[in-house]
Chains A and B, each alone.
Chain A
Amino acid sequence: MPEEVLFATITELGELLKSRKVSSLELTRTHLERLEKLGPRYNALAALTTQLATRQAKEADDLFRHNRIRSPLQGIPYGAKDLLATAGIPTTWGAEPYRSQVFDYDATVVRKLQGAGAVLAGKLAMIELAGGGGYRLPSASMFGACRNPWNTSHWAGGSSSGSGAAVAAGLVPFAIGSETHGSILTPASYCGVTGLRPTYGLVSRYGAMALSWTMDKIGPLARSAEDCGLVLRAISGGDSQDPGSSGKRFYYLPDYGRPLTELRIGYAPVDFEAQADESARPAFRAALEVFRKLGPKLVEMSLPAMPYREVANLVILSEGAAVFEPLIKSPAFDRLADDQQKAGLRAALEIPAYEYLRAMRIRRLIQQAMQQTFLQVDLILSPATRGPASGINEPVGGGPAPEAEAENRGNTDLSAASNLAGLPAISLPCGFSTTNLPVAVQLVARPFDELALVTMGREFQRQTDWHRRRPPA
């Protein structure tokens, strides 16, 4: 199959399938072969779902033969992060103690994608337990460190590592990931793909591993902002089985978005300069210019000083320790890969209730502060990550920039702030570092304003071609 097809967008694939130039079965077999052959090269694959995929692809082809189209995703293969339950197929949560775990039901997201006619080609690798205890190394996964398709001596990011790597390497056209604090946007940024983190409650978490009941979100990683919008349309919606479900759904109607010239984008110049990794600054500056030329009013703004990261850490640790208490207290816990993560979860069991409550009270103020911020601007723009992917053997995160402790922190805590407030965000590839690794910017919007993200992302990607670049063969 030509490489153009392997790296085609959902819309392009849809045209090929509808016109019967390619069948879903052909497309699926090609992606299954790529997953099997190349998945292990990147440590991106958790399990192939060959039988299921073949059946779903044949069903999709049957529908095409009868000119019946359920959705733009019909017949298109995808991969799911291995924290989503899939009936009869192992769901490991990336952690050795759960190697043999098999559920007898599908996560709502998997069920919805099946209803849309998409084809589940494989389960994708992830950081063990989505990294809730705070891991030190990319190797914090039963699948090993997930390698970046752009340079295999670098990390793919986490915790949706396999989802980022698989889309970047053309193993699947799109993937599903999850984010509690950075787990969609970081791998999307590091791997040069587009990632969308929906508003908390827009996509059902039923059947997904819980890490933080109040912060977990599920969303797509794909080839473009438009593709993310198409996937989000299929997976969003109310679900009585998810207590956090908002009951809302996303309608992808880009022509009904506000004109770009009416939008105000907030940004902090320091994010693109002193706070950014030097190797990424030229790409970030160029991206800022593209947004300026698109027409929205760019407004300088900074988040108010609040302990965003500390609150996020306390909330995730406290809730994560409650979720995994039986595991932490069992001998199987020692089979986790990352010593720092184990120590973090053990320490988290001793966080007093009042500390968690204090974090949740400050979180209330953070939510209010974000509401105030969004009275001034419609979107906030900043680098998705400070710089490109770290080395495969280097500690993750790399710590704050030297200047980060300075008075002007800009919006460097945007990831923590927006995750605590449940706000949606999109990561858009915006070029390469001077070390030839992808870098990306992120946009954050008001709750349930994913349409603004997808519309702005689509316009940015009409002016640039970073999202169409392919890693070396």
Chain B
Amino acid sequence: MIPEFHRKFSRRALGRWLAVSAAAVPAASPQRSTPAEERQRANQRVQRSSQSMAKFDLPVATEPSFVFRP
């Protein structure tokens, strides 16, 4: 929140406001990506998982665990 500048501030009040403002600024976050870049990375993650699973030797008779009983 920005204070109204026509108001007079005591040094203490100004100091308090500056401290709060500094705390409200988020710490440096990793560089933001565009949605397209995020999407591309998400696709790549899915692709990597798929490729990794494709390398796994899966017997043809293996059925999916649909009837799930631990």
Contact = CB atoms under 8 A, between A and B. Distances in A.
A347 B46 contact: yes
B49 A310 contact: yes
A342 interface: yes
A361 B59 CA distance: 9
Contacts of A310: 48-50, 52-53
Given A340-B38, A343-B38, A343-B41, A307 B46 contact: no
Contact of B43 (A133, A311, A347): A347
Given A214-B65, A313-B45, A362-B56, A137 B29 contact: yes
Contacts, number: 108
Interface in A347-362: 347-348, 350-351, 355, 357-362
A93 to B, nearest CB: 21
Contact of B35 (A313, A343, A350, A395): A343
A361 B63 CA distance: 5
B29 A361 contact: no
Contacts of B45: 134, 313, 344, 347
Nearest to A200: B70
Contact of A343 (B26, B42, B64): B42
A340 B42 contact: yes
Interface size class of A (residues with CB under 8 A): 35 or more
B39 interface: yes
A346 B64 contact: no
B65 A314 contact: no
Nearest to A359: B53
Contacts of B68: 200, 214, 244, 422
Contacts of B39: 343, 346-347
A293 interface: no
A20 to B, nearest CB: 43
Contact of A307 (B27, B42, B56): B56
Interface of B: 26-30, 32-33, 35, 38-39, 41-43, 45-46, 48-50, 52-56, 58, 62-66, 68-70
Interface of A: 133-134, 136-137, 199-201, 214, 244, 246, 306-307, 309-311, 313-314, 317, 339-340, 342-344, 346-348, 350-351, 355, 357-365, 367, 392-393, 395, 421-423, 447-448
